Each structure stands twice: as structure tokens, then as C-alpha cells.
Amino acid sequence: MIRLIAAIDNKLGIAKNGTLPWTLPVEQHYFKEMTMRHGGIVLMGRRTYETIGRPLPGRQNFVLSSTLQDTDGITVVRDLKTFLQEQPDVWVMGGASVYEQTFEQADELYITRIDADFGCDQFFPAFATDAFYLQRRSPVQRENNLNYLYEIYSRPS
């Protein structure tokens, strides 16, 4: 199963100047908890990996890149199609280019919707509600003066 996981603002923004423009520790814990499930395999792009600066603990870290080399804690993916065929469960965690490249294969979307506009310069792909159905929505959370909620979408069988 291919799951895309992202926190987005009101305009589908996911990053500004290469970083998250919000600080939500509870949401970050949710991200960690979710991505450690189902085998804990995470796929990210090179820029996302370089922004984080280290492998995510407790997970198998794969980085889509044509320039990086394997290093402690990460495995470089050069052929996305083969990787997705070989991995039964993958959490795709960005960035924008990797979301775009994996969106059509996604089975589920784990979305944190933040009720704000951060003037982002990187975006999650827009998706139609007929391509996915809303499986679950959390009550509104409030942290650091921001309202947000969690949604899980599934692709119809």
C-alpha cells in the first residue's frame, strides 16, 4: 500500500524556503507514530532528506535521488517504479516532486490540514474528491495558535 503523508495549509502548501513554516510538536508526533506503522518504510526526496539532515529513527529510510550515494541509515532509490513495485508498504513523505511522482499510485492520503496560509512555495498535489473518499476526520486540534485536523483518504477499490 502506498500512503502519502503530508501537512498542508489552506492553499495545499507544504514548505517555504525549504522548511516547514509551522511548528506543531503534536502533529510531528502524529507523523512519527503513523510512519512507524506498516513496516516503517519512508520514501523522501533528496531535498527533504537534506533538510531533515539525518535518517528518521525507527524507520527504514529511502531517498529518491540521482546524485546521492547510500550512507548509514539511508538507501538511495534511483528507479521509483521498481521501488514501488518491490515495497508492499511505503509512506511517501515528500517533497513536492516526490508527491507528484507517486500520487497516481497512492492508495491512501494522510493529510493534516492547517487552517492558515503560510505563503508556501512548495505544494501538495490538488486532488478531486471523486478520486479519493474521506475515510476519517479528526476533531479540530489547536496548537501554537493554529487550528488543524487530521484526515485519511482512501482510493475507491
Residue spans of the domains in the chain: they are: 2-154
Q: In the structure, what pLDDT confidence band is assigned to residue 23 with cuts at 50, 70 and 90?
A: very high
Mean pLDDT, rounded, for 54-71: 95
The confidence score (pLDDT) of residue 28 equals 97
State what percent of residues in the chain have pLDDT above 70.
99
Instruction: Using the Cα atoms of residue 20, residue 26, residue 27 and residue 29 in order, give the sign of their dihedral.
Output: positive
For the cut 90, the answer to whether the pLDDT of residue 22 exceeds it is: yes
Tell me the sheet residues that pair with 133. Answer: 154
Instruction: Among 72-76, 91-95, 105-109, 125-129, name the one with the lowest average pLDDT.
Output: 125-129
Q: Reply yes or no on whether the pLDDT at 128 is more than 80.
A: no
Three-state DSSP state, 155: coil
Q: pLDDT tens across 63-84, in order? A: 999 999 888 999 999 999 999 9
The letter for the amino acid at 22 is W
Cell numbers of 52, please?
Answer: 531533515
Q: What is the mean pLDDT of residues 97-103?
A: 97
Contact 134, 151 (CB under 8 A): yes
User: Checking DSSP bridges between strand 13-15 and strand 2-8, what pairing results, if any?
Assistant: unpaired
CATH 3.40.430.10 is held by the domain 2-154: yes
Q: Kindly state the DSSP code that residue 60 receives in the 8-state scheme.
A: E
pTM of the entire predicted model: 0.95
For residues 131 and 11, the model is more confident at 11
Give 88's pLDDT tier (boundaries 50, 70, 90): confident
Q: What is the pLDDT of residue 75?
A: 96
